[in-house]
Chain A
Amino acid sequence: GEQVEQRPPHLSVREGDSAVITCTYTDPNSYYFFWYKQEPGASLQLLMKVFSSTEINEGQGFTVLLNKKDKRLSLNLTAAHPGDSAAYFCAVSENTNTGKLTFGDGTVLTVKP
């Protein structure tokens, strides 16, 4: 089945710096990709969903890049602030009728003032 590797497991940056989190996956048929943010003790909050073969999506303070050729998905927080401190997870959805999501192990981001 699908395997998702997420790096790095921990990331510490200064306020205003950029932070990049990367996921690689194995199933070339995977079709939908998601980034979630999870604050301590809370549920998962959807940041962005990506579908196209190569796509750059921009949200509020972050950019998501999908490269299906390399089977790589990345999240770039362009100017991190302390409120971005949380765990971030990528998730890959199979292109089947199960709708299953396979998650990376997460990245704990700490943004220091």
Chain B
Amino acid sequence: EAAVTQSPRSKVAVTGGKVTLSCHQTNNHDYMYWYRQDTGHGLRLIHYSYVADSTEKGDIPDGYKASRPSQENFSLILELASLSQTAVYFCASRGGHNTEVFFGKGTRLTVV
């Protein structure tokens, strides 16, 4: 069973603080993604990566950085957290560009 593990599962952060969300996959997948979900909406792509040590901007990258130090790990970094970044964040992995996507359980981030 493909596994994508996110940590933490929830976090409260202070405005202006730094937040790091971590994602680990044991699927041996090349592709990894960070999505954001706001209440009542679908998922929007923030950053993605298809090889270690390289990341790409998604559709809403502003205010976020990403890091892919290894095939298994993909982090999302909020250098200066803002109230508008309160959301649920999902990490996902995919073996190829035309295969099934596996999602983590999500991280609920609240910025106060």
Contacts and interface: CB of A to CB of B under 8 A. Distances in A.
Interface of A: 1, 4, 6, 9, 31-32, 34, 42-44, 46, 49, 51, 89, 91, 93-106, 108
For B35, B45, B96, the residue with the greatest tally of chain A CB atoms inside 10 Å of its CB is B45
7 contacts: A4-B42, A43-B103, A46-B100, A91-B43, A93-B97, A98-B56, A106-B42
Contacts, number: 68
B48 A31 contact: no
Interface residues of B, number: 25
B102 to A, nearest CB: 8
B43 A89 contact: yes
B58 A100 contact: yes
A32 B50 contact: no
Contacts of A9: 40
B98 A98 contact: no
A99 B42 contact: no
Contacts of B90: 43-44
A1 B58 CA distance: 11
For B48, B58, B97, the residue with the greatest tally of chain A CB atoms inside 10 Å of its CB is B97
A18 B86 CA distance: 35
For B35, B42, B101, the residue with the greatest tally of chain A CB atoms inside 10 Å of its CB is B42
B59 interface: yes
A99 B31 contact: yes
Contact of A6 (B31, B42, B106): B42
A96 B105 contact: no
A99 B56 contact: no
B40 A1 contact: no
Nearest to A99: B97
Given A42-B105, A43-B103, A96 B97 contact: yes
Interface in B65-112: 90, 94, 96-98, 100-101, 103-106
Given A44-B103, A98-B56, A103-B44, 20 more contacts: A43-B90, A43-B103, A43-B105, A43-B106, A49-B100, A91-B42, A91-B43, A93-B98, A96-B97, A97-B97, A99-B31, A99-B33, A99-B50, A101-B33, A101-B45, A102-B59, A103-B43, A105-B41, A106-B42, A108-B40
